[in-house]
Structure 1
Amino acid sequence: MERPRFRASFLHPRFWPLWLGLGLLWLVTQLPYRVLLGLGRVAGALLYHLAGSRRRIAARNLELCFPALPAAERERLLKANFASMGIAFFEMAMSWWWPRARLAKLAHIEGLEHLRTAQAEGQGVILMALHFTTLEIGAALLGQVHTIDGMYREHRNPVFDYVQRRGRERHNRDATAIEREDVRAMLKVLRAGRAIWYAPDQDYGAKQSLFVPLFGIPAATVTATSKFARLGRARVVPFTQQRLADGSGYRLTLHPPLEDFPGDSEEADCRRINAWVEVSVSDCPAQYLWAHRRFKTRPPGEPGLYRKER
């Protein structure tokens, strides 16, 4: 996909409110990091009260995944999760607009040798990530030290799409943005020995998925990770990131490549992936994206797990 280019049509009056909002966000993002964390928590508290539908989805997911947790503790975790989502809004802007040197000071990276070893050996890597609220800034910080290609879905608003892509790709000048449905392009970059960010932890429907346990609940789990690893002759390197409680930045961890992957069956691979998801999410539950209906798709004959919104 070619680099984003500014077009004269972006100056049409219908885009002026968006440009104004982006300009104000840019100004706010110049504030000190700890101030932005505080503003994010305030934004998250407002979101908790205003986004009723998403709050109910997140609360239901926490109830399903942590049934033994007391209700009061789940409520505390829910509020912390919305605070994390509020912070993520400013982290997105930081990753787009902060000077690279200022942003780099927040990175604490572990396990980078797993990517560099694969690169030296000409081996493609599936950087198996999760949908944490720190996703945007985590990818930006890692992209500063190693080229990471990414799956991409074009935003419906062309101005926002331009700003978003430009902000993301400034950290990876030679990176490739791949359309999410372009499997052939993904396999091509893997076979060329490149690394590509990929997250298999959301519900993409029953097609090309298997139902395997996730926190003890049958969950539609994509089999694509196994297929991409096999057809792209790639290693799978799990990747997690975490916002540090002391305000010093982010811990990015590249874990050792999965051994004997793909395995004997896609079902076994999916179970293995979901087991890793459980451990990673349980390690930092407040920063996971619980507002996604992860258990929306049910096995035939099973009732839905979410309340229908009016």
Structure 2
Amino acid sequence: MNRTKFDKPKFSIELLHPRHWWIWIGFGLLALIVNILPSSILLKLGRSIGTLGICSENERIKIAKRNLELTFPDMSEKKVKQLVIENFKNTGIALIEIGIAWFWPTWRFKRILLTKDITKLEMLEAENKGVLLCCVHALNLEITARAFSTLGLAGYGIYRPHKNPVYEFIQYYGRTRNGNKLIYRTNLKKMIRVLRNGKRLFYLPDQDYGHNKSVFVPFFAVKEACTTIGPSILAYASKCAIVLGSGFRNTDGKYEIIANKSIEANYPQKDEIAAAAYMNKYIEEIILRAPEQWMWLHKRYKSLPDKSRTNSRYQ
């Protein structure tokens, strides 16, 4: 595959080979379940799946616990344990949310959206201004991405195709519901072109992507957290607006869609270290809206300035 672009997957007879049947059956069952059961039951089912995961994912429990200990050193052991359990339950719900985002009809999907404040995005849309829409790795990220497109604010997602062709076929069409488009993750030129042309680019600057194009700046209580410089590169090259977005689920089972803060005015895009630290402060604000729904199960702090000590925070 060309590492700067990829082709839209097309259906072929090869996708029906028996070795792929289990994927078709799995997604078929997921699509059936999410379309026949009411939302309240689906959420309970997801929490049950997450609870079962607690019994089998010992390594992930350790990672989530360690992430929370590093992030919130003053949090009590009891609170950390409670948050880990709740995070696992939300991880179970995430499976259901994938089904909802990819397979629900638009009329039903709109019913679970609660538009809190998207006026900033709407204003920039009217001005034909490119927007780097910075979100986080919330467990309901698939819902959030489709929500913006359903509300008439579709954008481009940065994308890595799945190795399995059937999974890729289903995933691609699920993620492009209601008008979203996808850009291969290394195609920087196209990302810049999208922003210069007044479109939206979804960007997730909250994880540890390794040393390449990253700096080490504070993130919560961790003083040297590996942080991507991608936003500053894109902002400097495109002169785009930078808006913060989220779509966390509330206690009523509705997804609160927010994109109300534009931060480019004081964003130090020419200083990669200052820009990364500046962005992290806002990313922290987003995560704290619903910390139990963020992806604590991945090693956020795996990289250290000394490459030879990678993962030492988890040993």
The alignment status of 1:296 with 2:299, answered yes or no, reads no
| Secondary structure of 1:49 counterpart | helix
Aligned to 2:155: 148
Aligned to 1:10: 15
CA deviations 1:156-187 (Å, max 9, x no partner) are: 11101110111111221xx4310001001101
Q: 1:121 aligns with which of 118, 127, 151?
A: 127
Aligned to 1:179: 184
User: Where in structure 2 are there 5+ consecutive unaligned residues?
Assistant: 1-5
Q: Displacement of 1:264 after TM fit?
A: 5.2
Aligned to 1:57: 63
Q: How many residues align?
A: 304
- Output the CA distance in 1 between the equivalents of 2:177 and 2:221: 41
Seen in structure 2, the aligned counterparts of structure 1 residues 264 and 189 have a Cα distance that, compared at 3 Å, is closer
Decide whether the 8 Å contact of 1:43 with 1:86 is kept in 2.
yes
The alignment status of 1:159 with 2:166, answered yes or no, reads yes
Q: Displacement of 1:189 after TM fit?
A: 0.7
**Amino acid in the other structure paired with 2:175:** R
Moved more, 281-290 or 180-189: 281-290
Moved more, 86-95 or 17-26: 17-26
The alignment status of 1:40 with 2:37, answered yes or no, reads no
Decide whether the 8 Å contact of 2:232 with 2:270 is kept in 1.
no
- Output the CA distance in 2 between the equivalents of 1:143 and 1:267: 32
User: Where in structure 1 are there 5+ consecutive unaligned residues?
Assistant: none
Decide whether the 8 Å contact of 1:230 with 1:262 is kept in 2.
no
Q: Displacement of 1:2 after TM fit?
A: 4.7
Aligned to 1:209: 214
Q: 1:189 aligns with which of 187, 190, 194?
A: 194
| Secondary structure of 1:201 counterpart | coil
Q: Displacement of 1:101 after TM fit?
A: 0.5
Aligned to 1:24: 29
The alignment status of 1:282 with 2:288, answered yes or no, reads yes
Q: 2:175 aligns with which of 164, 168, 186?
A: 168
**Amino acid in the other structure paired with 1:141:** A
The alignment status of 1:271 with 2:277, answered yes or no, reads yes
| Secondary structure of 2:201 counterpart | strand
**Amino acid in the other structure paired with 1:153:** R
Decide whether the 8 Å contact of 2:157 with 2:201 is kept in 1.
yes
Decide whether the 8 Å contact of 1:242 with 1:284 is kept in 2.
yes
Decide whether the 8 Å contact of 2:244 with 2:262 is kept in 1.
yes
Find runs of 4+ consecutive structure 1 residues off by over 6 angstroms: none
The alignment status of 1:85 with 2:91, answered yes or no, reads yes
**Aligned Cα root-mean-square deviation (Å):** 1.5
Aligned to 2:3: none
CA deviations 1:106-162 (Å, max 9, x no partner) are: 111233221222222221100001001111111111111212111110001110111
Q: Displacement of 1:261 after TM fit?
A: 2.3
Normalising by structure 2, what TM-score? Answer: 0.93
- Output the CA distance in 2 between the equivalents of 1:171 and 1:67: 42
Normalising by structure 1, what TM-score? Answer: 0.94
CA deviations 1:232-272 (Å, max 9, x no partner) are: 1211001112111122x110110221022244522111111
The alignment status of 1:306 with 2:314, answered yes or no, reads yes
Decide whether the 8 Å contact of 1:111 with 1:256 is kept in 2.
no
